[in-house]
Amino acid sequence: MDRMTKDRTIEGEVAALLDWYAAMGADEAIGEAPLDAFSVSAKPRAAPAPQQAPVAERAGGRERPPLPDRYSDFATTREPRPAPKTVTPRPVQPRRQETADMPSAGEIAKTASLAELRALVEQFDGCPLKRTAKSLCFSRGSETADLMLIGEAPGRDEDLQGKPFVGRAGQLLDKMLAAIGRAEDSVYITNTVYWRPPGNRTPTPQEIAACLPFLEQQIALLKPKTIMLLGGAAASTMLQTTQGIMRLRGKWKSYDKTDTPIPVMATLHPAFLLRNSAAKRKAWQDLLMVKQRLDSDQS
Ligand code: URA
């Protein structure tokens, strides 16, 4: 093999490896030098390094293959991920002991105020997503808002900023809300899970279930007049149904776990709308129904 061909082969292998890391969720470098995390796991964490460009940019601007649309009913299957060529067995890490006398998330959450709840979620180790995420994304908006919005899971931008819906989907959501006269100070926004799933995959039912008591307690404390569920994951979780978002959206449903039932409107996820402009009309219809209901509550 001549020198140039060899260089090109190595470059291709490095690029494929970076793509694989990115698909696994490791799309951000946090240090200049490689680090054996197993040898330092007992030591306190070093401060994060300044933000770096995404892996795809560092790999010479090569485009990463698009991830499946996790917000759509139409794309629920995933391409199998490429496996690494060689797998070195890792030592099994001892797991945090889960004992019978440990209070469950539900028991902890039930007694907390909204301010205490965030601190409790920060300390909560029952959701495995916490181990791979950089930050907790609890909520943004006003704690006195009459409109609560629940999305699926934080993405990369949310993980970096520690707030839900601050990336492109969040910007679209803000524009949609502005169109019905709502700024951040008149809505409360959160997700079904509080940490970014690796590689932006859909959170598993177990991950959602682990965080659900905190979400239910947020609703109980906030007592919003109306809840909007953004996308299929939030809708099926909160409405306890297997029906898809296309069937659920645009109809008033009810959340009945509070003393007074709360009207709920499911709609399409803003990330889905970014890829499917034609569907924006449907989301707009749903938003108008919410606006009309909230306006009539005020009059
Ligand atoms: N998508 C979500 O469902 N939630 C976020 O916070 C961001 C993107």
Mean of pLDDT values over 254-282: 98
Q: In this structure, which amino acid lies at residue 292? A: Q
Whether the CB-CB separation of 196 and 154 falls below 8 Å is answered with yes
In degrees and rounded to multiples of 5, residue 250 shows phi and psi of: 75, 5
The Cα–Cα gap between 117 and 12 comes to: 47
CB 28, CB 52: distance < 8 Å: yes
pLDDT at residue 243, rounded to an integer: 97
**Minimum mean pLDDT range among 40-44, 147-151, 159-163, 213-217:** 40-44
Residue 61 located in a structural domain? no
Ligand 1 neighbourhood includes 165 CB (under 6 angstroms): yes
pLDDT of residue 65: 52
In a domain, 119, yes or no: yes
Q: Rounded to the nearest whole angstrom, what is the distance from the C-alpha of residue 152 to the centroid of ligand 1?
A: 6
Q: Look up residue 129 and give its DSSP letter.
A: H
In whole angstroms, what is the distance from residue 23 CA to residue 12 CA? 16
By most ligand atoms within 8 Å of CB, the mutation choice from 136, 139, 150, 165 for ligand 1 is: 165
Within a domain: residue 74? no
What length does the chain have? 299
Does residue 151 have its Cβ closer than 6 Å to ligand 1? yes
pLDDT given for residue 75 in this prediction = 41
- Count the domains in the chain: 1
- Whether the pLDDT of residue 236 is over 90: the answer is yes
- Which pLDDT tens digit goes with each residue over 82-93? 555 554 545 444
Comparing 51-65, 109-123, 179-193, the range with the smallest average pLDDT is 51-65
> Could you tell me the two tokens for 6?
């060899």
**Range 162-177 average pLDDT:** 98
Give the Cα separation of 155 and 45 in Å (integer). Answer: 23
Q: Are 262 and 294 in contact (CB under 8 A)?
A: no
Q: Please give the pLDDT value at position 35.
A: 67
Full residue range of the structural domain in which residue 158 is found: 102-298
141 CB within 6 A, ligand 1: no
Whether 41 is in a domain gets the answer no
Instruction: Verify whether ligand 1 is closer than 6 Å to residue 164 (CB atom).
Output: yes
Predicted confidence (pLDDT) at residue 68 exceeds the cutoff of 70: no
What local confidence, expressed as pLDDT, does residue 52 receive? 46
Does residue 10 carry a pLDDT above 90?
no
pLDDT at 45: 53
Handedness of CA 49, 31, 207, 268 (dihedral sign): positive
CB atoms within 10 A of CB 278: 7
Query: What is the arithmetic mean of pLDDT over 144-151?
Result: 98
Q: Which residues are CB-contacts of 133 (< 8 A; sequence separation ≥ 6)?
A: 154, 159, 195, 196
In a domain, 248, yes or no: yes
Q: Is residue 250 part of a domain?
A: yes
Q: Report whether residue 158 contacts ligand 1, using a CB cutoff of 6 Å.
A: yes
Do strands 262-267 and 226-230 pair parallel, antiparallel, or not at all (unpaired)? parallel
Q: What is the mean pLDDT of the chain?
A: 83
Relative to the CA of 152, which ligand 1 atom is closest?
3
Strand order of the β-sheet with 188-191 is 140-141, 188-191, 147-151, 226-230, 262-267, 252-255
Please choose, from the candidates 104, 87, 57, 51, the residue with its C-alpha nearest in 3D space to the C-alpha of residue 212: 104
Judged on CB neighbours under 10 Å (0-12, 13-18, 19+), 151 is buried
Is 38 part of a structural domain of the chain? no
268 in contact with ligand 1, CB cutoff 6 A: no
| 175 domain-assigned | yes
Question: How much is the pLDDT for 175?
Answer: 98
pLDDT at 287 over 70: yes
| CATH code: domain of residue 224 | 3.40.470.10
The verdict on the CB of residue 169 being under 6 Å from ligand 1 is: yes
Sign of the Cα pseudo-torsion (105, 109, 114, 119, in order): negative
Is residue 97 scored above 50 in pLDDT? no
The response to whether residue 203 sits with its C-beta less than 6 Å from ligand 1 reads: no
